[in-house]
Amino acid sequence: MANFCGFLNLNKPAGLTSHDCVARVRRLLKMKRVGHGGTLDPAATGVLPIALDRATRLLQFLPDGKAYRATVRFGLQTTTDDLEGEVIAAHAVPHLDLPQVQAALPQFVGQIQQVPPMYSAIQVQGQRLYNLARAGETIEVPVRSVVVSRIEILAWRSGDFPEIDLEIACGPGTYIRAIARDLGEVLQTGGTLAKLERTESCGFQLADSLTLEDLEIRLPQEIWQPLPPDAALRHLPAIDLPVPAAQRWCQGQSIPWSPGMDLSKAMIRVYHGDDRFLGIGQWVQVDETELLAPRIVFDNNL
């Protein structure tokens, strides 16, 4: 079996947790060192970035923007804010029309305050919320500030329990289930998430993704290779180091470097020669000297 190192842009199927997908990939590739970037609910489908071998060290540097295609069903409320939970209330709302929903959507764009669903993986008082919910405990879930950069309407279906398809682009920590719930509250109809597909995550796109079945077919034919370790790091500035600076940097030494711009808060992709990815560096200043310090040395075989 080949020694894979890089990223798998996985199209997660419904019914599997993100952890289940990691376990499946471990078995298929016969690898222990596998991780994922960004949990996706079991009922949801779409992009789940999977890091292989040393690429797991790069997960922390991936861009954090995400995008989804979501279906919201009105007239329905559930314990989990999606169709996986028990129904709390169901009332036909045939009077609801598209202009009413359109008028309510702008308040969900921008920096908004959001209460995560009670059935979610965030921790409160050292415990996962879903564990507290399953134990029947009632706890006040803290409000979070999240950013939704765009909501677009894709389709509208009227009826007793009308549905709307939305495309939503957002930052980390945003719960689409909470948007569905809160949209229903604003419209005084109730609302829940009926379907969710992640179309973008950490720089990976759904159009370029691969299913577990695709992977199973391609592996025996030896026609699959992971994406390069730096495939989703293009949002970071880059520098190409000559020898011997590259050798010293790969040995853990900080080297003199003046970028000519303020990169004090940025991570920097470090290369040598013909696009050889060496790792992630960071600009630091010691006294009056500007330096490029190693943050992650990915390839030190110079």
Q: Looking at the domain assignment, is residue 229 inside a domain?
A: no
Q: Are 57 and 177 members of one domain?
A: no
Given a cut of 80, whether residue 139 has pLDDT beyond it is no
Q: Looking at the domain assignment, is residue 19 inside a domain?
A: yes
Closest CA to 281 of 272, 269, 263, 265: 269
Closest CA to 292 of 275, 302, 280, 301: 280
Given a cut of 80, whether residue 123 has pLDDT beyond it is no
Question: Residues 196, 68: contact at Cβ < 8 Å?
Answer: yes
Half-sphere exposure of 135 (CA within 13 A, CB side): 9
- Give the long-range contacts of residues 118-127, CB within 8 A, separation 24 or more: 118/79, 118/80, 119/79, 119/80, 119/81, 119/85, 120/175, 120/177, 121/39
Q: Looking at the domain assignment, is residue 1 inside a domain?
A: no
Q: Looking at the domain assignment, is residue 84 inside a domain?
A: yes
Q: Are 182 and 211 members of one domain?
A: no
Q: Which of 34-43, 94-103, 117-126, 289-298 has the lowest mean pLDDT?
A: 117-126
What pLDDT does 117 receive? 82
Q: Are 195 and 166 members of one domain?
A: yes
pLDDT digits (tens, 9 = 90+) for 19-55: 999 999 999 999 999 999 988 989 999 999 999 999 9
- In 14-65, where do the E strands start and end? 34-36, 45-52
Given a cut of 90, whether residue 261 has pLDDT beyond it is no
In DSSP terms, 46 is beta-bridged to 12, 198
Q: Are 23 and 93 members of one domain?
A: no
Q: Are 190 and 96 members of one domain?
A: yes
Q: Looking at the domain assignment, is residue 226 inside a domain?
A: no
Q: Looking at the domain assignment, is residue 37 inside a domain?
A: yes
pTM score: 0.90
What pLDDT does 197 receive? 98
Q: Looking at the domain assignment, is residue 105 inside a domain?
A: yes
Q: Are 214 and 187 members of one domain?
A: no
The CATH number of whichever domain residue 160 belongs to comes to: 3.30.2350.10
pLDDT band of 120, cuts 50, 70, 90: low
In DSSP terms, 52 is beta-bridged to 6, 34
Q: Looking at the domain assignment, is residue 251 inside a domain?
A: yes
Number of structural domains found in the chain: 3
The CATH number of whichever domain residue 281 belongs to comes to: 2.30.130.10
Cis-peptide, bond into residue 220, ω within 30° of zero: no
Range of the domain at 54: 6-62+207-221
Q: Are 246 and 124 members of one domain?
A: no
Catalytic residues: 41
> pLDDT > 70: what percent of the chain?
92
What pLDDT does 297 receive? 95
Q: Are 73 and 196 members of one domain?
A: yes
Q: Using CA atoms, how far apart are residues 39 and 126, in angstroms rounded to an integer?
A: 19
Q: Are 188 and 255 members of one domain?
A: no
- The DSSP result for 104-162, as a single string, is HGGGGSEEEEEPPPSSSS-EETTEEHHHHHHTT---PPPPEEEEEEEEEEEEEE-SSS-
pLDDT digits (tens, 9 = 90+) for 50-77: 999 999 999 999 999 999 999 999 999 9
Q: Are 57 and 72 members of one domain?
A: no
Question: Residues 104, 191: contact at Cβ < 8 Å?
Answer: no
The CATH number of whichever domain residue 21 belongs to comes to: 3.30.70
Q: Are 110 and 186 members of one domain?
A: yes
For the CA atoms of the chain, what is the radius of gyration? 23
Q: Are 216 and 275 members of one domain?
A: no
